[in-house]
Structure 1
Amino acid sequence: MANTPHITRRGLLRAAALVPVAGALAACATPQTQAPASSAAPAATSAANPLGVDAKKPLEVWIFDGGFGNAYATDIHQPLFKTKYPDAEIKHNVTKEITKVLQPRFAGGNPPDVIDNSGANAMDMGALAQDGQLQDLAPLLDAPSWDDPNVKVKDTLDPAVVEFGTYDGKFHVLGYVNYIHGIWYSQKTFRDNGWTVPKTWDEFIALCETIKKAGKMAPFTYAGKHPQYLYEPLLTMAAKIGGNEVLVNIDNLEDGAWSAEPVRQAAEAWAEVGAKYLMQGTAGLDHVQTQTAQNKNEVAMLPCGSWLENEQKTTTPEGFEYGMFPIPDFTASDKMPYGTLHTQPGESFIVPSRGANPQGGMEYLRAMLSKKAAGDFSELVSTVSVVKGAGEGRDLSPGAKSATEALAAAGANTVYYRWRSWYGQLHDEAVAATGQLMTGGVTPEKYVERLQKKADELKADSSIKKYKR
């Protein structure tokens, strides 16, 4: 959905007119202005109530209004929670502007109980964790699953969920969706025009040239207003060229990580696409506008995550048949093979530690992680959740099936990065620089130089918590 959702995600991260992260979080990232800790004491725990939930205490839930909408919360998760806690009032809220709406609540010491902290305007998770604003979710992991008291919650999850949600040794963030990133297209359009999915960069450029010369549609676009949609394939390509260590080094703020040759090569490759093959006006369009242009056969390909199909369900024509392919091989000497994918847990749910009902918040997440709730979610929004086996026996849409098959084919050849959620200022800089790269405002050399400079500044800033992977 728009490390972008739109990433509207990212987004899949998060994917832009962002509230500057440093300023937005100043009130909660300054130790001397911390709000008092929540006085919400748990009720007595039991086998039936492992987290000590007060059955009558209200629960305030905020859902990011992005590619997955919010019906999954009102129609699946909340009714399931209410089956066990019928007397608990659920205050359901929706917004596209997570930081703008909820950051003041953290600063004021009265945050809500559950937040889907996603989208282009998500709050800086690293800063929230650094300031002690996030509930330690270890009790949730060790609690019995909603479905089976003999199976712990942590044993029902993709192992990457715990790795991605852990900040400085504590599990704070629950990624609910398995974001699968790639290049999206219409399988029908490709068939009708005799186009084949490119497996090498030369084939990709040749396909772009063929589409451009045909004159029916533009070859490529991306969410120009949210350039994180483009830095995702750029970094995936860099990892293919130079190996997974390229992204590990960037995450760890290693000297010269951004200015490494694989990153520069990837920037040069995508700058050529920006110069020759973009749909006219791309820089001024958001993710929905570019995706809708694809639905209208005005453009052939765009980069996105596996939330795309659901996000566009109201505008996608019948028979469009979404498909997704991985980043093509740059050269025959790439360190990672064809089929390598960027995939990671996304759609990040948090429970504020200073909320009125953190126990209820964790219990809400426990209900979400039931196999039925996760399976219903997957079917409703055409994507894959992080709960093991949740998609079994479900009717998957063409795009979800394509992405799932690509993930299966990738096997162990998957990559990810975490700097986006760890260092909000670096994300802001990458967004601005990538937008300029694609419009010719900076050269590939200046692009990596600019991002290296920002990473070096963050590394030297002792006030910013550093994370390692």
Structure 2
Amino acid sequence: MPHTPRITRRDLLRAAALAPVAGALAACATPAAKPTASSAAPAATSAANPLGVPGDKPLEVWIFDGGFGQDYAKNIHQPLFKAKYPGVEIKHNSTKEITKVLQPRFAGGNPPDVIDNSGANAMDFGALAQDGQLQDLTPLLDAPSWDDPATKVRDTIDPAVVELGTYDGKFSVLGYVNYIFGIWYSQKVFRDNGWEVPRTWDEFLKLNETIKKSGKMAPFTYAGKHPQYLYEPLLTMAAKIGGNEVLVNLDNLEDGAWTAEPMKAAAAAWAEIGAKYLMEGTAGLDHVQTQTAQNKYKVAMLPSGSWLENEQKTTTPDDFEYGMFPLPDVTGSDKLPYGTLHTTPGENFIVPSKGANPRAGMEYLRAMLSKKAAGDFSELVKTVSVVKGAGEGRQLSPGAASASKAMTEAGANTVTYRWQTWYAQLKDEAMAATGQLMSGGLTPDKYLERLQKKADEIKNDSSIKKFRR
């Protein structure tokens, strides 16, 4: 399950000065001196070894053990790397607590070589970039692909990977999975009950009412303890109503971006769902609990991303048949057409600049981006990778097939936002406020005013590095 961090950049910097490294959530680095890339000399480069990987130096890998587990790293990526570099010992590790376990390593100047920086406790990418902790991965992009020496790595992946993984002009974060967001449901349940996928918001409201009156299950839920699951469709709806610039303005901390009319319409729409159609107890449940309730036919619909099917594989009935549909048309004159999707590269991998073996770290990513590795990964964890054509000829599960079809139909009509990975403080505020919006504790106007206030605070805080789209 992908999440973004809950520790603020200011907290990261302050911790370096105030807290001992051992046993504390120490900072990534002191801000006084920015680290440079590892001084370890690379091996000579060649056609067979374009990144200059030392043949006998260990490689330390840390994987976020979340929705995709860690078997893909142990059974797909690492054997592929080892086949080419048998003398390199791979030290595999996994955790659900990335920040808690690895942040002290950054503060101590000895981070590992490859990190899948994902999950609810991922480290703040903005803070890592600000402190010079991220290896510039441009050499990886310019290296020949694993499969075809005539094709560069950059030409084998979706362009959004480079755009969204670039900080301060340097490509430094590799999103490996194409997260595709939408409303998830059981195709079997809809078929058995004669419920149709809604194409307009009015149809969506009527569907919620029909399900509620049927008494068979609750209409809607979301991960109440992780309200980013709900602000995702709210923001996507606002972009659909007002165009992609709605989200660009949020990212760029523009004056009044949060209180713009498309945001007001979206907040009001979802507040109505919160008031009328939520499964009882939603606010106190996490993502696994709400998703499992859906698997037990206690609730019909929930918002999530394309990791959902794999995350729920142990509780999903064999005939459940996951499906995903895009947000319905809202106003009748939305600026973006039906089928518009929020998609973004996720499951973000980094190579720390102060790691002992950054060349091998980049080579590990190059192996991951081979068609075989990406295709095997997609099949194993029921999702879609960022490598072009990696899913061709593969047997996709119902949910992955549904999401892939929606992605194909969306074409160029995709949107995304970056403020939540740039400004962890704003993400924290949005999570808290969205929970209150959905439980009736904040009116839509007060909700947006609160978020605008926080965005303005960040904009006016000179200690926080600003990013722009």
Checking the alignment, whether the CA contact within 8 Å between 1:22 and 1:424 is kept in structure 2 is no
Correspondence for 1:88: 88
Identity across matched positions, percent:
81
Post-superposition Cα deviations, 1:291-344, rounded to whole Å, max 9, x if no partner, equal 010000000000000000011111100110000000111110111111110011
Detail structure 1 runs of 4+ shifted over 3 Å in the superposition: 18-22, 33-37
Correspondence for 2:21: none
Residue type at the aligned position of 2:58: P
Correspondence for 1:251: 251
Comparing 24-33 with 416-425, greater Cα deviation is found at 24-33
Correspondence for 2:274: 274
Checking the alignment, whether the CA contact within 8 Å between 1:61 and 1:92 is kept in structure 2 is yes
Matched, 1:22 2:10: yes
Matched, 1:396 2:399: no
Any idea what SS the aligned residue of 2:438 has? helix
Q: Which runs of 5+ in 2 are unaligned?
A: 15-26
Any idea what SS the aligned residue of 1:32 has? coil
Any idea what SS the aligned residue of 2:112 has? coil
- CA–CA distance in 1 between the matches of 2:464 and 2:9? 12
Correspondence for 1:116: 116
Checking the alignment, whether the CA contact within 8 Å between 2:337 and 2:413 is kept in structure 1 is yes
Checking the alignment, whether the CA contact within 8 Å between 1:68 and 1:381 is kept in structure 2 is yes
Change (3 A) 1:29 1:425: farther
Change (3 A) 1:412 1:35: closer
* 1:401, distance to aligned residue in structure 2 (A): 0.6
Q: What is the 5 A alignment of 1:8-19?
A: 9-10=2-3, 14=4, 18-19=6-7
Post-superposition Cα deviations, 1:90-144, rounded to whole Å, max 9, x if no partner, equal 1111111111111111111111100001112111101101110000000000111
* 1:21, distance to aligned residue in structure 2 (A): 5.0
- CA–CA distance in 1 between the matches of 2:183 and 2:214? 21
Matched, 1:456 2:444: no
Any idea what SS the aligned residue of 1:28 has? coil
Matched, 1:427 2:436: no
Checking the alignment, whether the CA contact within 8 Å between 2:8 and 2:124 is kept in structure 1 is no
- CA–CA distance in 1 between the matches of 2:291 and 2:9? 27
Comparing 183-192 with 414-423, greater Cα deviation is found at 414-423
Checking the alignment, whether the CA contact within 8 Å between 1:371 and 1:390 is kept in structure 2 is yes
Correspondence for 1:102: 102
Q: Name the TM-score, length of structure 2 as normaliser.
A: 0.95
* 1:66, distance to aligned residue in structure 2 (A): 1.1
Q: CA RMSD of the aligned region, Å? A: 1.3
Q: What is the 5 A alignment of 1:164-313?
A: 164-313=164-313
Residue type at the aligned position of 1:273: I
* 1:214, distance to aligned residue in structure 2 (A): 1.0
* 1:197, distance to aligned residue in structure 2 (A): 0.4
Change (3 A) 1:269 1:29: farther
- CA–CA distance in 2 between the matches of 1:244 and 1:52? 41
Correspondence for 1:63: 63
Any idea what SS the aligned residue of 1:301 has? strand
Checking the alignment, whether the CA contact within 8 Å between 1:35 and 1:108 is kept in structure 2 is no
Q: Name the TM-score, length of structure 1 as normaliser.
A: 0.95
Residue type at the aligned position of 1:309: E
Checking the alignment, whether the CA contact within 8 Å between 2:218 and 2:299 is kept in structure 1 is yes
Post-superposition Cα deviations, 1:166-219, rounded to whole Å, max 9, x if no partner, equal 111100000001110000000000011110001111111111111111111110
Checking the alignment, whether the CA contact within 8 Å between 2:35 and 2:132 is kept in structure 1 is no
Correspondence for 1:72: 72
Any idea what SS the aligned residue of 1:314 has? coil
Any idea what SS the aligned residue of 1:234 has? helix
Checking the alignment, whether the CA contact within 8 Å between 2:157 and 2:388 is kept in structure 1 is yes
Comparing 405-414 with 19-28, greater Cα deviation is found at 19-28
Q: What is the 5 A alignment of 1:21-60?
A: 21-24=9-12, 26=14, 27-28=27-28, 30-32=30-32, 38-60=38-60
